[in-house]
Structure 1
Amino acid sequence: MMKDNENLENLESQENIIENEDTNLNENIDIEENTEDLKEEAQVSEDKKKEEDELNMFKKYKDENKKLTNELETLKDRLLRVSAEYENYRKRTTKEKEGIYTDACIDVLKEIVPNLDNLERALEANGNIEDMKKGVEMTLKGFRTALEKLGVEEIETKDGFDPNFHQAVMHVQDENLDENSVAEVFMKGYKRGDKVIRHSVVKVAN
């Protein structure tokens, strides 16, 4: 009888141990499940934050791109306006230059045309040498007057040879002339201000 009681107590003890183990096992399972849930929640939260960050970054880049696009369009518009203004300026200055050139040509021709009249009169002298000579002299005088009005001057040679104004085509040895002086003028030179129209063609003494 006593032995049966011991067996019964052992059996109850084993049952209690098993129940405790089951309880501990269930608790461990609950802890693991809670841990997994927390991990999943943390992962979801992290993924959501990452997605929000990416969305914010995309929005930022989109805004910057829009801003740069607007600035580019503004610069393009400004460039087009500047180009149009420059083209108008170029056309205007070209037209003004052409007008100035035309006016200058007309001024020159106004001075020259009367001399053409004198030459025609000289040719109408009907063989009279004296009248023809007078006509040529009048024409020559008219040309000189016209050149003077236009600011054209004859290049001087009295101060000696100057390569800036004279072109030497011959050299001569002459004891009666100073060295580098102009011995003879083959063709007169002309200038207007500091601008040489034609160099004097000369013979130079060495």
Structure 2
Amino acid sequence: MVQEEEKTPEASEQGAEQKTAQEAKKDKSKKKKNREEELQQKLEEAEAFGKKQKEQLLRTAAEYDNFRKRTEREKSAVYADATADAVKEILNVADNLERALAQQECSVEDLRKGVEMVQAQMCAALDKLGVTAMGEVGEAFDPAVHNAVSHVEDEAAGDNVVTQVFQKGYKIGDKVIRYAMVQVAN
């Protein structure tokens, strides 16, 4: 007869401990695998998000570059149009000066009258362009618009008053194009 080993309670406890240790290892292995899968999924999501952000950044950079180029073209076009408008106004004056010089025989009176007409036309062209003259005798001296090239002692004129204008100044709006060259009384 074969003797059967009797299982003692200690032996069954060891078997149970081995089973729980194996189950714990399996659980630990499962948890580790789940954690790896979870981390892998998060990594893939982060990579997808990064790729999406990079594409958006590239699109934004391209849009900005296009905007910058378009703005530069528009700026150049506006400048060219403004220059063309200014030249167009001055061309009429140049044409009249050429006509005056083409006259072979004319009196001094006719010549003076023609020059006065050309000057009036030039003033009208400057007015149309928004250019205003500055620097009149009797004005208070203002270093923001006048360039004092000489001083004179004149008690009748008062202090810091323009007594003579050597060259008129011009401005568009508040921007000075050319300062008026003047003589100032002290």
TM-score band, normalised by the shorter chain?
Answer: 0.7 to 0.9
Pairing 1:38-187 to 2, within 5 Å after superposition: 38-126=16-104, 128=106, 130=108, 132-157=111-136, 158-187=138-167
Point out the more displaced range, 99-108 or 30-39.
Answer: 30-39
Whether 1:191 aligns to 2:178 is: no
- Give the direction of change, closer, same or farther, for the CA distance of 1:59–1:125 in structure 2 (3 Å limit): same
Q: What is the CA–CA distance in structure 1 between the aligned matches of 2:132 and 2:146, rounded to whole Å?
A: 14
Q: Following TM superposition, by how much is the alpha carbon of 1:134 offset from its aligned partner in structure 2, in angstroms? A: 4.3
Q: What is the CA–CA distance in structure 2 between the aligned matches of 1:58 and 1:30, rounded to whole Å?
A: 42
Deviation string for 1:153-175 (max 9, x for gaps)? 11144330112211222222221
Q: What is the CA–CA distance in structure 2 between the aligned matches of 1:71 and 1:143, rounded to whole Å?
A: 66
Contact 1:177 1:205 in 2 (8 A): yes
Which is helix-richer, 1 or 2? 1
Q: Specify the SS of the correspondent of 1:171.
A: strand
Q: What is the CA–CA distance in structure 1 between the aligned matches of 2:85 and 2:143, rounded to whole Å?
A: 31
Deviation string for 1:106-164 (max 9, x for gaps)? 11111111121222223323375625544433332221111011111111443301122
Point out the more displaced range, 43-52 or 129-138.
Answer: 129-138
| TM-score normalized by the length of structure 1 | 0.75
Q: What is the CA–CA distance in structure 2 between the aligned matches of 1:52 and 1:177, rounded to whole Å?
A: 104
Q: Specify the SS of the correspondent of 1:196.
A: strand
Aligned-residue CA RMSD (Å): 2.5
Q: What is the CA–CA distance in structure 1 between the aligned matches of 2:151 and 2:24, rounded to whole Å?
A: 103
Contact 1:179 1:205 in 2 (8 A): yes
Q: Following TM superposition, by how much is the alpha carbon of 1:200 offset from its aligned partner in structure 2, in angstroms? A: 0.9
Q: Specify the SS of the correspondent of 2:64.
A: helix
1:23 maps to what in 2? none
Q: Tell me, which stretches of 5 or more residues in structure 2 are unaligned?
A: none
| TM-score normalized by the length of structure 2 | 0.82
Which structure: larger Rg? 1
Q: For this pair of structures, how many residues does the alignment match? A: 180
RCO greater where, 1 or 2, for CA within 8 Å and sep 6 or more? 2
Q: Tell me, which stretches of 5 or more residues in structure 1 are unaligned?
A: 1-25
Read off the aligned partner of 2:119 and give its amino acid letter: L
